[in-house]
Amino acid sequence: MKKWPSFVAALTLIVMCIGITDLNAQGWTFKKLFPTNTFQTFNGSGLNNALAVDPAGRLWVAAYSTTSKDSLQRVGTTPYIFVGHIWVFNPSGSEAAFSGMKILNGVDQNAVAVHDTLNGNCLAVGTKANGYSSTTGFRRGPDGNMYLTKGSSITWKLNWQTGAVMQRIINPIPVVDTGQSGGNGSAFCAIGDDGEIFFSTVYGGNLAVARSADFKNVDVQVGTIGGFGRSMVVTGDDSDLYFPRYTLYATLHYHGDPLNGYTFKDSVFKGLAGTASSFDPKKHYLWVNAGGTAGNASLPPWNGGRIYGFDMTNRSNPVLKDSVVYDTSVTKFTHAFCDTRDIAFSPTGDTLYLGLWSTDTTGIEMFVRNVSSVERQPDAVVKSYELSQNYPNPFNPTTEIDFSILNSGATSLKVYDLLGREVAELVNSDLTAGSYKVKFDGTRLSSGTYIYELRSGDARLVKKMMLVK
């Protein structure tokens, strides 16, 4: 049994030499277009600018803009108005009872009745909310309710069980002119674990602000954010804000708190032209996309057409851990430009949705987290750390690996290719002392030799296996 203490260092050097973007979909498998193959073209371009998943695992989808395919009749010189649309899909793909909302109804935080039509510039009846009309984001709040932002002019908090309006704020960033041409004021938000809500804008040169959970107060002006961007995230404790800015090819990092204010700390993910971002609720990785295939494509070494997951333990020095490549062949894009406009995770973090946007068609791609079943072997007597040869070997496409750990503790079992790229994580958890068996499925991998490594306590054990298809 061979121990290889320098294996991790060697892998790190190899990965640096071959380029970090070769890390490819370790943890995820493409499942299908969601909810169906035909939904992608229902509303024309710009369908999926806003995605979020509620506590029941239902995916909320909002159209980027209004189109002639959705309209409402009204009294007046123009009998019909084009409207936007909010869909709510159960995990099975069927629609929730209240899906298909074109008018938002309810009562806001000031006990004012709300009856807002999701159409163009006529965002809120009786108000001057005449900002740019694109839908710029959905977020799930810490209480499970859903926040929808449209233009810079209005944000609604919607009851996740009924779709009813619970709160509404007009002009969430008071100093931004909602009439700026070209969507200068188009806003989006992020929400901390305490309900503090943060707003920024697409166009650079505007302020980002933090507002209280009740929508009533601006707690602090975060700062003037440069460059163009379409997303932001905040850590649960409100201390760190990340603004992917695709024209700056970087994500701006601010640190502070809503009481004392924020200061610019540094830029991370340099070269990434991100337009979407989200935290993974299971592994707590921060995911940022690499821009589109044209227009605002990322700089080398990052590759367009994928999203990257980063370990944010050191919030100023993220560590790349995973990536997912979206499949343009299934969405049938014909235009050169396509982009990820939103990233949404199920509450468990085991399902990932990518809202893809193009000028000709759109699609929602659904991915599921790869899960390995670790089986503990009863009555085994363990005298040392051991890693057995996989069986069968060679294999196609599945094989089993037995291992033993002498002491309880954090344990990982990972698979690498010969270039040192991690291709699978079979175990990553605290295990009690004992013997275990785990199955490895190489269906998505090419034929070849792979290295698997067990780490537990001070032990690092390594073996090779061969996949032959």
pLDDT digits (tens, 9 = 90+) for 103-144: 899 999 999 999 888 865 444 333 333 334 577 889 999 999
DSSP E strands: which ranges in 3-118? 28-33, 50-53, 59-62, 67-73, 80-83, 86-89, 103-107, 113-117
Q: What is the pTM of this model?
A: 0.78
Phi, psi torsion values for 178, nearest 5 degrees: -70, -10
**C-alpha span between 385 and 115 (Å, rounded):** 65
CA distances to 394, 443, 444 from 447, rounded to whole Å, are: 10, 10, 10
Tokens read off for 228: 């163009």
State the pLDDT at residue 70. 57
Mean pLDDT of 313-321: 91
Cα 326 to chain center, whole Å? 13
Query: Which of 458, 452, 464, 465 lies closest to 385, judged by CA?
Result: 458
Pair type for strands 206-211 and 197-201: antiparallel
Average pLDDT, the chain: 82
> Model confidence over 4-16: pLDDT tens digits?
434 444 444 333 3
CA distances to 19, 56, 360 from 288, rounded to whole Å, are: 18, 25, 23
Per-residue pLDDT band for 219 (boundaries 50, 70, 90) equals very high
Do residues 125 and 170 touch, judged by C-beta distance below 8 A? no
Tokens read off for 370: 């790869």
Do residues 111 and 79 touch, judged by C-beta distance below 8 A? no
Element (H, E) at 18: helix 7-18
Domains of the chain: 7-13+372-467 (2.60.40.2550), 27-369 (2.130.10.10)
Q: What share of residues in the chain are helix, strand, coil (percent, to 5)? A: 5, 45, 50
Do residues 142 and 194 touch, judged by C-beta distance below 8 A? yes
